[in-house]
Structure 1
Amino acid sequence: MTERSYFAQTGGHPPQTELMTGRAVFTEAYAVLPKGTMRDITTSYLPFWDATRLWVIARPLTGFAETFSQYLMEVQPGGGSARGETEAGVEGVIFVVEGRLSLEIEGARHEMGEGGYAYLPADSRWSLRNAGQGAARFHWIRKLYEPVEGLEKPDPIVTSDAEVTPSEMPGTEGRWATTRFVDPADLRHDMHVTIVTFQPGGVIPFEETHVMEHGLYVLEGKAVYKLNRDWVEVEAGDFMWLRAFCPQACYAGGPGPFRYLLYKDVNRHAGFLPRR
């Protein structure tokens, strides 16, 4: 695996002389949060997290994307949490884009660098600290785990982008590939967080239209993305948020690879509303 770069948000504020008009959009089918929307004024804080701020870039919304939340976390040296997850039944994924983390899951300690990936099972005990000299930045994706009778909960996973060989999509000659941190055939998992890579000129050659909700954070490069009826330009640091059945396709613009961190819900029946 070649050395990778990952866009890491740093916040700040634009000068008063800058135009306010940008590329942010929220529609009935999708939302685009450009990197310029993630400023100091839009940060949040969490209980039991020290020297930490975050951007909430996705949260469950009735009638939109309902299955997940996604945070961009920024932890200063020595900061972190001894109580990473405080809600029962919630699983998580961490993906590191800058700095170093010391992660402990059920008493086992793991050191994570840039490109590090961790799956955190629901109701597992875990803690996290910034183990480096500078700020550590990472994505934290959370989902209410959907148990199935007869299937055990998944085990913790700690690996990295560099340790997983991407799987080429058939018939693309390597122009489109997916880095899968979880075996797709493992039905214990009800969400997948992967990295999708397009080489310059690579495309999704049809409009995907499916039941999975998506969060797509651009780690590297740029592309033109088809979202519902619109073609939207996106670049490293932008986030796309898609509800179920939103048509989607893309064309990677180059000059380097276009890569994004992708969330989707999988492997479970479609839910029904409670009976009245």
Structure 2
Amino acid sequence: MADYYAPKGGHPGQEQLLTGRAVFTDAYAVIPKGTLQDITTSCLPFWEQTRLWVIARPLSGFAETFSHYIMEVGSGGGSVRPETDAGAEAVLFVVVGTAHLKLGGERHALSPGSYVYLPPGADWTFEATGEAPVTFHWIRKLYEAVEGLAAPDAFVTHETEATPNPMPGTDGKWATTRFVSPDDLRHDMHVNIVTFAPGAVIPFAETHVMEHGLYVLEGKAVYRLNQDWVEVEAGDYMWLRAFCPQACYAGGPGPFRYLLYKDVNRHMNLRGFGR
């Protein structure tokens, strides 16, 4: 079974040095796991026994399409009104603990590795069921409807039910676990898991229109972000603006894996941010 990193909160002592790896530039941001302390948590309306870390949100001139939360819900906590924006779609990905998701009247048991897609207007509730808190990623985006194209259906699955797709010419050392077919144009975002074996690389500086959010689930690597090489490890988050060059070298000793968001399958908005 995969080992997914989850933040634990806490607070650093007065003796700790201020030096850290957090970086925020015009092209990218790195939010190291050490910044996810108790003092950086938030709360949400209609969520009980819950705190969250907001690690991405729309910002003018930077990432514009999505938000990314790490949710921590205590035993018996949750929400019967989790989403307050009827236009928002979402992906949930569980990393620690157990929960029940009620979706359209059907109950689903969630555990580490569970993946949920929720279209706009979905009827769902969430309840933590274990003695320990459940931690999950919640990625939200305003759905971009297209006339004549139906909205996607909701679904619940698990990472173990999806087969990783190796990149051509890599002998499986670089693979992507896709939960939605790239040919399904109903979807305007993909949230995948990317896995690199020790020594595997992205062998060129990818430069493309998709925005990215990358949360490191496991392992460590050196990541090229714009003009910089940055060391990252499990629990770190990278936020890449559109067209930010990127590459990767996974040095080992174990696999390097991250949860990846990108916006896809739509014309470019010509009317400006938020219109």
TM-score, with length taken from structure 1:
0.98
**Does residue 49 of the first structure (1) align with residue 47 of the second (2)?**
yes
Alignment match, 2:166: 168
Unmatched segments (≥5 aa) in structure 1: none
Alignment match, 1:263: 261
| Inter-partner Cα distance in structure 1 for 2:13 and 2:61 | 36
- What letter matches 1:93 in structure 2? V
**Does residue 65 of the first structure (1) align with residue 83 of the second (2)?**
no
**Alpha-carbon distance, 1:15 to partner:** 1.3
| Inter-partner Cα distance in structure 2 for 1:212 and 1:244 | 5
Alignment match, 1:14: 12
Matches within 5 A, 1:146-185: 146-185=144-183
Q: Which aligned segments of 4 or more residues in structure 1 are displaced greater than 6 angstroms?
A: none
| Inter-partner Cα distance in structure 1 for 2:107 and 2:148 | 30
Q: Provide the secondary structure at the position in 1 that maps to 2:84.
A: coil
| Inter-partner Cα distance in structure 2 for 1:44 and 1:62 | 21
Q: Deviations over 1:181-206 (max 9, x none)?
A: 11110000000000000000000000
Q: Deviations over 1:223-255 (max 9, x none)?
A: 000000000000000000001000000000100
| Inter-partner Cα distance in structure 2 for 1:161 and 1:16 | 40
Alignment match, 1:115: 113
Total equivalences in the alignment: 272
**Alpha-carbon distance, 1:47 to partner:** 0.2
Q: 1:79 aligns with which of 77, 82, 92?
A: 77
**Alpha-carbon distance, 1:72 to partner:** 0.4
Q: Provide the secondary structure at the position in 2 that maps to 1:204.
A: strand
| Inter-partner Cα distance in structure 2 for 1:70 and 1:147 | 21
Alignment match, 2:225: 227
Alignment match, 1:90: 88
| Inter-partner Cα distance in structure 1 for 2:217 and 2:181 | 22
Q: Provide the secondary structure at the position in 1 that maps to 2:224.
A: strand
Alignment match, 2:214: 216
| Inter-partner Cα distance in structure 2 for 1:152 and 1:166 | 27
Q: 1:126 aligns with which of 101, 110, 124?
A: 124
Between the two proteins, what is the percent identity of the paired residues? Answer: 69
Q: Provide the secondary structure at the position in 2 that maps to 1:36.
A: helix
**Alpha-carbon distance, 1:131 to partner:** 1.2
Q: Provide the secondary structure at the position in 1 that maps to 2:160.
A: helix
RMSD: 0.6
| Inter-partner Cα distance in structure 2 for 1:4 and 1:21 | 31
Alignment match, 1:236: 234
| Inter-partner Cα distance in structure 2 for 1:253 and 1:171 | 19
| Inter-partner Cα distance in structure 1 for 2:190 and 2:126 | 22
| Inter-partner Cα distance in structure 1 for 2:256 and 2:38 | 27
- What letter matches 1:132 in structure 2? G
Alignment match, 1:33: 31
- What letter matches 2:40 in structure 1? T
**Alpha-carbon distance, 1:121 to partner:** 0.6
| Inter-partner Cα distance in structure 2 for 1:144 and 1:108 | 25
**Alpha-carbon distance, 1:5 to partner:** 0.2
| Inter-partner Cα distance in structure 2 for 1:152 and 1:104 | 23
Q: Provide the secondary structure at the position in 2 that maps to 1:57.
A: strand
